[in-house]
Chains A and B, each alone.
Chain A
Amino acid sequence: MDDKAQLKLQAYLDGELPEGEARELATGLAQDQEAAALLAELRQTRDAIAGSEQVRALPESREFYWSKIQRAIERAEAPAPQPAGVSGWVGALRRFLVPVTGLALLVVAGFIATRGTGEPTSSLETAVSDPGALVYRDYSAGATFVWLSYPAEDDNAKQDDEALFD
């Protein structure tokens, strides 16, 4: 029995199959001993767990609990109302200044990045001619590792332990 058939049996047991499919499956069980045995086992397991499951009661009803969450999401998504007393031209000026200021900051940042302000803080621009190399940066240790494929494996086979270091 494949995974799909097993999942269908589980869905049948949980009452999650559409009526037509459930009827069809029930009819098929009479001919399929393997399926019938699995269904019996699943039913047994479900009953065993149900008996020992600890009931957790919410302090409020399920519907109320989830409606609170829904209201909180709606509040978070609602746009902030305009403060009273802000005239049209102030709002228009603000809408113009914010992107312009952002653009100006980007230009300044780009200028600083290209000129350099002193000690670079990242060694991410590590280039290696070895196509099999792997570069790994440990930021907290301030270390950049460049794992090379040198020496090649066949070279290793011809060397003893000390040959690389002598």
Chain B
Amino acid sequence: MVLAGGAVQRAQAGEEMKIQAILVWGTDEPKPPEGKNYKPLDEQIKKRLRALKWKNYFEVKRIDFTASTGAPKKVAVSDKCELDVQALGNSKIEVVLYGKGKEATRVKGVLPKNEILVPCGDAPNETAWLLVLKRMD
């Protein structure tokens, strides 16, 4: 019993989480801005954003990575925005958002399988930016 418990603890300590980060632009406009080839967001994910008010969501960028309980994983979402993502064990993660090189905010939460964690905020002209974090394993 003690050995089994120890094995569980070691497994949690070395936990890895496969995560997909999708940077999304939320807007009531029917099309992305001129010159930008953002594609419409996947319907399955769009359905899960129904709590939000925007009519349309466009995928700006999609990145797959693995977060572990060791060092934080650095993820460049855009030229101006990057993340540090660290698994904390037991499906918990910590996400640090950096804007223009400075820490903007820190989010710590549980990300169970088949769920999404969405840090988001206002963008100009009554649109929104969303970072959809989805567990892939």
Chain B positions 42 through 69: 1 when the CB is less than 8 Å from some CB of chain A, otherwise 0: 0000011111100000001100000000
Give Cα A88 to B85, complex, Å.
Answer: 64
Which residues of B80-137 are within 8 A (CB) of A?
Answer: 80-81, 90-92, 97, 99, 104-125, 127, 129
> Which residues of the other chain, A, contact B97 by a CB distance below 8 angstroms?
148, 150
Q: Is B21 an interface residue (CB 8 A)?
A: no
If over half of B's interface residues share one DSSP class (helix, strand or loop), that class is named, otherwise mixed; here it is strand
Given contacts A123-B115, A127-B109, contact A166 B80 (CB under 8 A): yes
Name A159's contact: one of B47, B109, B120, B124 (CB within 8 Å): B124
Size category of the binding interface on chain B? 35 or more
Contact A143 B49 (CB under 8 A): yes
Contact A148 B105 (CB under 8 A): yes
Contact A142 B119 (CB under 8 A): no
Q: Is B6 an interface residue (CB 8 A)?
A: no
Give Cα A24 to B33, complex, Å.
Answer: 73
Give Cα A78 to B90, complex, Å.
Answer: 49
> Whole-angstrom distance from the CB of A60 to the nearest CB of chain B?
49
Of chain B, the residue at the smallest CB distance from A130 is: B105
> Whole-angstrom distance from the CB of B61 to the nearest CB of chain A?
8
Query: Can you identify 20 A-B contacts, CB atoms within 8 angstroms?
Result: A119-B113, A120-B91, A121-B112, A123-B109, A123-B111, A123-B112, A129-B107, A133-B105, A141-B47, A141-B49, A141-B50, A142-B115, A150-B105, A151-B104, A161-B33, A161-B127, A162-B33, A164-B123, A164-B124, A166-B78
- 11 new A-B contacts, CB < 8 A, other than A123-B110, A125-B109, A128-B106, are A126-B110, A129-B105, A142-B114, A142-B115, A143-B115, A150-B105, A151-B99, A151-B104, A156-B123, A161-B123, A162-B33
